[in-house]
A = this chain, B = another copy of it.
Amino acid sequence: MAPGTILGMSAAGPQDPRFADVGRLVVRCPDRPGIVAVLSRLMADTGANIIESQQHSSDPVGGTFTLRLEFVLADLATRRVELERALAALAGEWQFTWRLVEATRKPRLAVFVSKADHVLQELLYRVGSGDLRAEVAAVVSNHPDLEPVAKAHGVPFHHVPVTPDTKDAAEARALELVGDVDLVVLARYMQIVSADFCSRFPERLINIHHSFLPAFVGANPYRAAHDRGVKLIGATAHYVTAELDAGPIIEQEVARVDHRATVEDMRRIGRYVERQVLAQAVTWHVEDRVIVEGDRTIVFA
């Protein structure tokens, strides 16, 4: 038996009956009375059974309305076209954009790492357990250290060294190796990716920063946190934009430390916060629960 199969990666596979015929619809439009009635009517007429419904209006007057529905529709794969046609027929009048997803489809992730394994291990564990319904298509690293971890889970590993001089070429090479993915996760990659790289994955590039942003932007945040004498250390998962550590925040969490904690203690404690925060953010993202609105996110948790 190959090591890659050992951790139950097929535990919640595409055939998982819990997800058959489950669909997710996210709709965004200018807020206007009647939009919920129209969409609810459409779903009811289609025969969809709503199992989860969340909505948000950035401002009831003149704001943007966002609706996320999770529903069961018998024979969804076939009837999806019909549903899309019905949505398209209404989209013009109500000026909405939409995204319709079949829950059986597992998004493909590329995970970029450096030498630290804790976040990668957690993502692979959650994928294996089925708690994170995604497929890790590739692990990319500027160091060879974590190849065995990827291999143990049956995931292709690409070692792409990066130096200041070869950064553009390295990014290009990584993109080529990774191929077509739905989401890129920077799981303690420790490299600043280029603006061009960011622009290829708009709202599809998630980073974990090891501080409670916006405190301690940049390098060595645990050292900075220690020097400032904070009583809580944190981690922040955010979409990456061209500006360093400034993209829309998806999730944050903190852990308590006291005067005894050295920088090394903070790093150790922080690792558990980081893995939790990034895994949560990625899970919400692949379940279409995160919607970017300007510099902020809506999270239908």
Task: Please give the residue numbers on chain A whose beta carbons come within 8 Å of chain B beta carbons, in ascending order.
Answer: 1, 3, 5-8, 33-34, 36-37, 40-41, 43-44, 47-57, 60-61, 72, 117-118, 121, 125, 129, 131, 148-149, 151-152, 212-216, 227-232, 234, 248-254, 258-260, 268, 271-272, 276, 293, 295-299, 301
The 4 closest A-B pairs by CB, nearest first: A229-B296, A6-B148, A37-B40, A34-B44
- Which residues on the B side are within 8 Å of A56 (C-beta)? 259-260
Identify which of B41, B254, B299 contacts A258 (C-beta below 8 A). Answer: B299
Min C-beta distance of A205 to chain B, whole Å: 17
Identify which of B8, B51, B54 contacts A57 (C-beta below 8 A). Answer: B51
Instruction: Identify the closest chain B residue to A129 (Cβ).
Output: B118
Known: A249-B228, A249-B231. A268 touches B40 (CB 8 A): no
Interface majority SS (helix, strand, loop, mixed), chain A: mixed
Identify which of B43, B152, B232 contacts A252 (C-beta below 8 A). Answer: B232
The complex is assembled from copies of this chain, and their number is 4
- Which residues on the B side are within 8 Å of A253 (C-beta)? 232
- Which residues on the B side are within 8 Å of A40 (C-beta)? 34, 36-37, 40
- Which residues on the B side are within 8 Å of A230 (C-beta)? 213-214, 249, 252
Is A259 a contact of B298 with CB atoms below 8 Å?
Answer: yes
CA distance A232 to B272 in the complex (A): 18
Instruction: Identify the closest chain B residue to A48 (Cβ).
Output: B33
A72, A227, A252, A298, most chain B CB atoms within 10 A: A252
Min C-beta distance of A124 to chain B, whole Å: 10
CA distance A250 to B228 in the complex (A): 11
- Which residues on the B side are within 8 Å of A295 (C-beta)? 227-229
- Which residues on the B side are within 8 Å of A248 (C-beta)? 229
Could you show 25 A-B contacts with beta carbons less than 8 Å apart?
Answer: A3-B152, A5-B148, A7-B149, A7-B152, A33-B49, A36-B36, A37-B41, A51-B57, A56-B259, A56-B260, A118-B129, A121-B125, A131-B268, A212-B215, A212-B232, A213-B215, A213-B230, A214-B228, A229-B295, A231-B249, A231-B250, A232-B234, A232-B253, A259-B297, A259-B299
